[in-house]
Amino acid sequence: MGRPPIDRRPNALLAHWHGRTGMSNAELARAITTRAAELGERNLATDESSVRRWLKGESPRAPVPQIICDVISEALGVHLICADLGLPGPQGLQHTGHPDLPWEASSTIGALTHIIRSEVMLPTTRTTPEARNVHAGPQLLDSLQTWVRAPSSVSDTAPPNAAAARIGMSDVEGIRAVTATFRDLDNRHGGVLSRKAVIGQLDEAVGMLTGTYTAETGRALFSAVADLGSVAGWMTFDAGRHASAQRIFVTALHAAAQGGDKALGAHLLQCMARQMSHLGHYADALDLVELAQYGARRRLSPASTSMLASLEARFHAILGNLDESERAAGQAQEAFTRITPGEEPQHLAFFDEPELCATLGVAHQIAAKNSAGAHRTRRAEKSAALIDQALAHRPEHRVRSKAFDHLGLARTHLAIGEVDGAHEETRRALDLFGRIGSRRVADRLVELHDEAAPFADGRTGSELRQLIVAAVRV
């Protein structure tokens, strides 16, 4: 699924160059699929309908624009850049560089639109080389399937020498305490500031895995290291280092398997699911949630069950499965009523009632955008009520979460054309954004900027977008 363009104007530039090749939509699609396979992108399958959507104005995600550009350039024997085709390139939508444009109004408008857009294009971590290097589809999911049945191979370890220190449960508790500290720092300040520090602590903890311990202590140690890894991966994701974050998540999942900790494994999979959703791999995000639900089905606490179901509701909404989204939301709310305070694992401390309300509120917001008429209004009202409830009960230290809540409300207001409400919530989100270091929040601001494009001709909509430009470009 491509990132929605700022407008839905047909891509006259792409149509011009595509027409020059003499290729049909189906022929261009086959050539793109072949070139993608040559580049190692074997999971990228383009068809005739994909080409039609691009011609209508949909903007495909990297690396597809560059592959389209390469195929058309080769067919014509002309050097083109992505912007010549009205497509985002490695640095976003740049100035149209090729002078050979069709002499017609639609193409002139298209070229001007892309030139202007390049002047206000906001930075986003979704188009960086790191984001393009993230594994997705079968390449990712096939490798994780064995997590479901992966046994722990941890056993008693013998000391390498008589003077070697023996790892005990006090060392494990030390790692858990450090993990809790970094989780709190992440919630208060975002992942950018403390990412390198948590990586350093993870390095120290991993060093303990080569020490001497009993099998029981060893499993607890692997589990503690995996949990610290989940925080390191999350901070790295929040900092926009997507490929690095994915590597940490996957390796931490292996550590959780060695610790025999299925519940923690499910937590790591939901972290990966959120990252996949952030990068636009929505089907993969849903598959990861389902893998977590199946793999830890006998070990899931009520909070974990509720959290995974709430994410399932959100991803179904994104994919347009609105009935499935409603079903999963009901399961999330039911499971939440079965939580016993104080009996949930540390890694689930973040999933409280405000988090449930916010996640389901976003699901209803997305469903509103996929609905019309009275259904849209009803879903938007439900979204606003849930996110308002989340904000009313968020702990003060959950600064980033509160920023996301205000952004969620702003997008809900936009879904039903309430620009004044969106403007007010955007200002509140930006006040919090100035207090944290989070590239994820910046990316969400860019999404809001794009969604506000239909209102840019009005004073309030224009000011809303200008506020975001000023904040994200700083």
- The CA distance from 403 to 263, in Å, is 28
- Which position has the higher pLDDT, 37 or 419? 419
Q: Within this chain, do residues 178 and 293 fall inside the same structural domain, yes or no?
A: yes
Q: Identify whether residues 113 and 140 lie together within a single domain.
A: no
Q: Does residue 58 share a domain with residue 24?
A: yes
Name the residue range of residue 29's domain: 12-121
- Within a domain: 435: no
Please tell me which of 246-255, 294-303, 363-372, 387-396 the model is most confident about, judged by mean pLDDT: 387-396
pLDDT of residue 61: 80
Q: Is residue 68 part of a domain?
A: yes
Integer Cα distance of 422 and 450 in angstroms: 13
Residue 72 to residue 84: CA distance in whole angstroms: 11
Q: Supply the CATH number for residue 284's domain.
A: 1.25.40
Q: With 70 as the cut, is the pLDDT of residue 245 above it?
A: yes
Summarize pLDDT for 287-314 with one digit per residue, the tens. 999 999 998 888 899 999 999 999 999 9
Number of H helices and E strands in the chain, helices first, is 21, 0
With bands split at pLDDT 50, 70 and 90, how would you rate the model's confidence at 2?
Answer: very low
- Please say which residue of 284, 300, 316 terminates a domain: 300
Looking at the structure, do residues 275 and 151 belong to the same domain, yes or no?
yes
Together in a domain, 54 and 148: no
Q: Hey, CA dihedral for 82, 447, 347, 335, is it positive or negative?
A: negative
What mean pLDDT is reported for the chain?
87
| Position with higher pLDDT, 163 vs 156 | 156
Q: What is the largest CA-CA distance in the chain?
A: 84
Give SS3 for 166. Answer: strand
**Weakest mean pLDDT among 82-86, 180-184, 241-245:** 82-86
pLDDT score of 231: 96
- With bands split at pLDDT 50, 70 and 90, how would you rate the model's confidence at 91? very low
Q: Are residues 206 and 63 in the same domain?
A: no
For residue 93, pLDDT beyond 50: no
431 vs 82, higher pLDDT: 431
Vertex 290, ends 287 and 291: CA angle to 5°? 85
Same domain, 111 and 217: no
Residue 277 pLDDT class (50, 70, 90 cuts) = very high
| Domain's final residue, options 243, 273, 300 | 300
State whether 71 and 198 are in the same domain.
Answer: no
- Torsion angle (degrees, nearest 10) of CA 167, 172, 174, 176: 160
For residues 21 and 110, membership in a common domain is answered with: yes
Cα separation, 371 vs 358, in Å, equals: 20
In this structure, of 141-150, 286-295, 328-337, the range with the lowest mean pLDDT score is 141-150
pLDDT bucket at 379, cuts 50 / 70 / 90: very high
| In a shared domain, residues 17 and 151 | no
Residue corresponding to tokens 């923690």: 264
Let me know whether 184 and 152 are in one domain.
Answer: yes
Residue 251 lies in a domain: yes
Give me the sign of the Cα torsion angle 296, 298, 301, 307: positive
pLDDT tens digits along 257-268: 889 999 999 999
State pTM to two decimals.
0.75
Give the Cα separation of 277 and 212 in Å (integer): 40
Q: Using the CB atoms, write b or e for 370-394: b if 16+ within 10 Å.
A: bbeeeebeebbebbbebbebbbeeb
Residue 415 domain flag: no
User: Which percentage of the chain shows pLDDT scores above 70?
Assistant: 89
Tell me how far apart the alpha carbons of residues 362 and 162 are, in angstroms, rounded to a whole number: 57
- The answer to whether position 228 is within a domain reads yes
Fill in the amino acid letter for 304: S
pLDDT at 85: 84
pLDDT score recorded for residue 121: 56
Predicted confidence (pLDDT) per residue in 218-244, tens digit: 999 999 999 999 999 999 999 999 988
Q: How many CB atoms lie within 10 A of CB 22?
A: 9
Between 161 and 357, name the one with better pLDDT: 357
Whether residue 109 is found in the same domain as residue 231 = no
What whole-number distance in Å separates Cα of residue 442 and Cα of residue 190?
Answer: 11
Give domain status of residue 53, yes or no.
yes
Q: How much is the pLDDT for 148?
A: 83
Within a domain: 347: no
Reported as a pLDDT band with limits 50, 70 and 90, residue 105 is low
- Dist CA 96 CA 236 (whole Å): 34
What pLDDT was estimated at residue 211?
A: 84
Residues in Cβ contact with 92 at an 8 Å cutoff, skipping those fewer than 6 apart? 118, 121, 123, 127
Helix, strand, coil shares of the chain as percentages rounded to 5?
70, 0, 30
Report DSSP letters for 439-467, one per residue.
HHHHHHHHHHHHHTGGGTTSHHHHHHHHH
pLDDT of residue 86 exceeding 60, the answer is yes
Tokens coding 94 = 């740049």
Give 425's contacts (C-beta < 8 A, 6+ positions apart): 406, 407, 409, 410, 413
Considering 300, 325, 340, which residue would you say is the last residue of a domain?
A: 300
Contact 97, 78 (CB under 8 A): no
Q: Domain count for the chain, please give it.
A: 2
pLDDT reading at 248 higher than 50:
yes
pLDDT tens profile 51-70: 998 888 888 887 888 899 88
Range with top average pLDDT, 71-75, 311-315, 370-374:
311-315
